[in-house]
Amino acid sequence: MSSIQLKKYPISCSHDDKKLTGYIEYWSKDYRVVLEQPFRSESNMIHMMYMIPARFTTPLDRDTLGSDVKCVDIVSTCINTMKQIYDKEK
C-alpha cells in the first residue's frame, strides 16, 4: 500500500492587528490548515468523497485532469479557517 504525498502551500493574512502565518497541507481529496504564528494549531482534516468528480487545488496545481474534473480552489477558505483557529484559541 502506498502512502499519499501531501503538498504544502503557504498562507498568511492580517487579523485583529496580528500577522497570521501557516500553510495548507493537502492532496486532491483532503486538506487541513496549520497555523504556525503567532502560535501553532491545526484544523481537522477535511475530506471530499472519492466519487465526486472534483479535487482540491491551490495555485501550485497547474496540471489538468480533463473537463470532467472540477478544481476547487481552497486558498480563501483556508485563510478564513486560519482566522477561525486563531479566534478560537487566542
**Domain, as residue range, for 19:** 7-89
**Contacts for 15 with CB less than 8 Å, ≥ 6 apart:** 83, 86, 87
Lowest mean pLDDT among 23-37, 41-55, 63-77: 63-77
Is residue 2 in some structural domain?
no
* CA proximity to 33, closest of 78, 90, 71, 87: 78
All cell numbers assigned to 50 = 472519492
Domain count, the chain: 1
Is residue 30 in some structural domain?
yes
Is residue 66 in some structural domain?
yes
Whether residue 33 contacts residue 43, with contact meaning beta carbons closer than 8 Å, is answered with: yes
- Residue written as grid cell 470532467: 68
pTM tops 0.85: yes
Is residue 56 in some structural domain?
yes
Q: What is the pLDDT of residues 61-86, one digit of tens each?
A: 877 556 678 899 999 999 999 999 99
Is residue 19 in some structural domain?
yes
